[in-house]
Chains A and B, each alone.
Chain A
Amino acid sequence: MKDVKDEEILVKGGRLLGCPGGLRAEGDILIRGERIAGVGRGISSRGRVIDARDCLVAPGFVEMHAHLREPGFEYKEDIESGSEAACAGGYTAVFCMPNTDPPIDNQAVAQYVFARGKEVGLSMVLPHGAITVGTDGKNLAPMSEMARCGANVTCFSDDGNSVSDSEVMLRAMEYAATLGGLIISHCEDKSLSRGGQMNESYFSTSLGLEGIPPEAEEISVFRDICLAEKASARLHIAHVSTAASVELVREAKKRGVLVSAEVTPHHFSLTDSALLTSYDTNLKVNPPLRSAQDVKAVLEGLADGTIDVIATDHAPHAPHEKEVEFEKAPFGVIGLETSLGLVVTKLVDSGILSLEEAIAKLTISPARITGMERWGYSTTLAEGDIANFVVFNADEKWTVKPEGFRSRSKNSPFLGWELKGRVQSTIFEGRVVFERGEVFPGA
């Protein structure tokens, strides 16, 4: 066997994003072993050459909000299929939410997920830990135990089971801060959203579906900001979806609260009117698709930096779970493989963000918020860095088709859409794990 350490790959002729200085200069990247051995022009190598002409090269994307469903719901997705979807989407690191069965509320499950991710070897798979035991909102989960284990969990969330008891949330923030950790909050006042199926509006009334008022989210965003401010703790607001939520985060940041926020591609690409007459359960998400005014505010929040991160909330569900009455269908859509296309089509092409700004929200920002530096994960494309990057064509158009997904589930709201911007190759730890539609499993 050849010595992997010396194996060379040359990525030639792409324009490099994210290198120091942020220039979009044309250049080559030489990979030797798992690291970047050289960045510059006119590099040559006797090893494999990846032609990156017409393409951009960016640091590998970091997904800070995904559901890989293992353990417990492998019929929807598992760490292997989820990792394949991730590398097909240009991601080299994926954080997965703890709502598995058993939930990730102790070091054993956290360690299992982490180890399984390493075994699959297509992307880093890093678990978020639960805030409370069983994500039931009562007793704090052993955060420090999860932090100390090999998975080195530092972000905690009860995700969809948002912590309703304000004291528990306050103590969780204080305790996580003690460990240098981060609380990620899915903001939802369940007493207001109870029974809700979609955004409360003319459209919910027209479709006869119970509404989820924007206030259900906003009350909770406001509460968690208050608590984080009191606790001087870091807080990350998951999937911001309403205008008032964006404004609350904006004001809090101005005051110096340690708050960050994310938005999903479906929340910046779609409005509640999309549901009209179709009752398409692939449009059933939580928080729900909001009004056109909310989407406008979210776009403004992305543009002015209020919203730091683009995260997909990748939530696979099997066809038999989604092909049911709207009220019976679970919330959630897959997103790992369409995010780049939506970012280019909806944000860059429409002038909301520059390509550099948009890519930063998929790379530098989530890496910073989740503390990826502790893994030696770099988002700079510099010599000596571990080679995690993505080669993509920002001009290539493609149509979203169910058979094109690597994810085990096909519940995308974007089926049939033509998107611009497609991943050509993904390099993870010096290996080409995805190229032109094909996944190359670990050695």
Chain B
Amino acid sequence: MAGEAKNLISIADLSKDEISGILSLASSFAEVLRRPVKKVPALRGKTIVNLFLEPSTRTRMSFELAAKRLSADVVNFSSGTSSIVKGESLKDTAKTIFSMGADAVVVRHQSSGAPQMLTKWVDCSVINAGDGMHEHPTQALLDLYVMRERMGGLEGLKVAIVGDIEHSRVARSNILALNKVGSKVLLCAPRTLLPAGIEEFGVETTVSLDEALGWCDVLYLLRVQAERIEGPRFPSLEEYHENYGLSEKRWDKLEKKPLVMHPGPMNRGVEIASSVADEVEPSIAGQVAAGVAVRMAVLYKLLSGSVSSERFEREQ
């Protein structure tokens, strides 16, 4: 009963029940992380390759820790040190990794769709750890986990996502996930950062941050990705902060403070004033902590019940 290699490429591939399944599994793993020995032998003998072809610290560490807490062997493969810089194609890299007997590849890539392509070239599980402007499914799952823990539920929850929607894979994954679990989503950005056809995702949009603040239970701030913004999107970071930054003035004025979330790393003084950032720091640290439990849940769900290493040995 060798199952098909199981992948996590997009939130779109998950049903509402699968999302809740992962979130409850994550609660069990959060308990493991509170134990004296924060490690269980669940994935002993499995090999997980972290293929990070775009700079990343927190996601890579989070996946690495998650894999190690499950007793899997982890191999890191990042852009600076890999043969990709020597001109090796992604396809050849993928084949090499698979020949080494990997059970899963966790891939971060600057090109949208790269993880999807990997699934054609390798026979092991592929987990998308962020691809271009496409998706970052485990980030959305951990965000939902935090929202559920902090707000008591997701159904009907009002979530405002603010900032560079166009270039944000985090926004796309969160929109899809929040829609599936019955939360309401309002996107807030200048029109230059709202991508084509976004209303077809079943979300509302506004250009007014104050409107979003007055409405939401959860305020999700996106990082202004200066490195992805090409051409004239807004005149300056100062002007962006003026209109779309969570300033001290805006924050203090709020009677009902929403839960503030951010995928990190924060640009203080751009999407959030430094003093406000300090105030909401604990909840953002909570996101990071939840990341390990959620990624353990994802790895466990994809790799338990799979026999890819045995299949690999048979094929040799």
Contacts and interface: CB of A to CB of B under 8 A. Distances in A.
Touch between chains A and B, by CB atoms below 8 Å: yes
Given A277-B116, A327-B112, A208 B169 contact: yes
Interface in B131-180: 131-135, 166, 169, 172
Interface in B191-208: 195-198, 200-201
Given A195-B230, A325-B117, A209 B112 contact: yes
Contacts of B132: 208-209, 327
Interface stretch (A197-205, A218-226, A242-250): A197-205
A209 B172 CA distance: 12
Interface in B5-56: 10, 12
B197 A207 contact: no
B10 A325 contact: no
Given A277-B116, A279-B117, A208 B133 contact: yes
Contact of B134 (A194, A208, A328): A208
A269 to B, nearest CB: 22
What secondary structure prevails in chain A residues at the interface with B? loop
Contacts of A278: 116
Contacts of A350: none
A32 B10 CA distance: 63
Given A195-B230, A201-B196, A277-B10, A209 B113 contact: yes
Interface in A153-203: 194-195, 200-203
A202 B175 CA distance: 14
A204 B131 CA distance: 14
Contact of B90 (A205, A209, A324): A324
Interface residues of A, number: 25
B91 interface: yes
B185 to A, nearest CB: 14
Interface string B102-113: 000000010111
Nearest to A320: B89
Given A204-B196, A277-B10, A325 B134 contact: no
A351 B163 CA distance: 48
Contact of B111 (A194, A277, A327): A327
Contacts of B131: 208
Contacts of B230: 194-195
A326 B131 CA distance: 11
A288 to B, nearest CB: 13
B92 to A, nearest CB: 9
B114 interface: yes
Contact of B112 (A201, A202, A326): A326
Give the residue among A194, A201, A205 with the most B Cβ atoms within 10 A. A205
Nearest to A319: B91
A207 B89 contact: no
Interface string A318-334: 00100111111000000
Nearest to B135: A208
Nearest to B53: A325
B222 to A, nearest CB: 14
A212 to B, nearest CB: 11
Interface string A259-297: 000000000000000000111000000000000000000
A211 interface: yes
Nearest to B168: A208
A326 B200 contact: no
B197 A326 contact: no
Nearest to A200: B196
A327 B109 CA distance: 11
A323 B113 contact: no
A142 B197 CA distance: 45
Contact of A208 (B117, B172, B201): B172
Given A202-B197, A279-B113, A207 B90 contact: no
Contact of A202 (B12, B109, B196): B196
Contacts of A325: 90, 109, 111, 113-114, 117
Interface in B58-101: 89-91
B257 to A, nearest CB: 31
A205 B195 contact: yes
Contacts of A326: 111-114, 117
Contact of B198 (A195, A205, A277): A205
Contacts of B116: 277-279
A410 to B, nearest CB: 15
Contact of B196 (A194, A205, A208, A320): A205
A244 to B, nearest CB: 16
Contacts of B195: 204-205, 211
Given A323-B89, A324-B89, A324-B91, A209 B133 contact: yes
Contacts of A205: 166, 172, 195-198, 201
A211 B134 CA distance: 13
A201 B199 CA distance: 11
A209 B109 CA distance: 13
Contacts of B135: 208
B112 A207 contact: yes
A203 B134 CA distance: 11
A201 B132 CA distance: 17
A326 B120 CA distance: 14
A103 to B, nearest CB: 26
Interface of A: 194-195, 200-211, 213, 277-279, 320, 323-328
16 contacts: A194-B230, A194-B231, A200-B196, A205-B172, A206-B197, A207-B113, A208-B113, A208-B132, A208-B169, A209-B134, A211-B196, A320-B89, A325-B117, A326-B111, A326-B112, A327-B132
Interface of B: 10, 12, 89-91, 109, 111-114, 116-117, 131-135, 166, 169, 172, 195-198, 200-201, 230-231
Given A208-B134, A327-B111, 11 more contacts: A195-B230, A200-B196, A202-B200, A208-B131, A208-B135, A209-B133, A277-B12, A277-B116, A325-B113, A325-B117, A326-B112
Top 3 nearest A-B pairs (CB, nearest first) are A202-B197, A208-B134, A279-B113
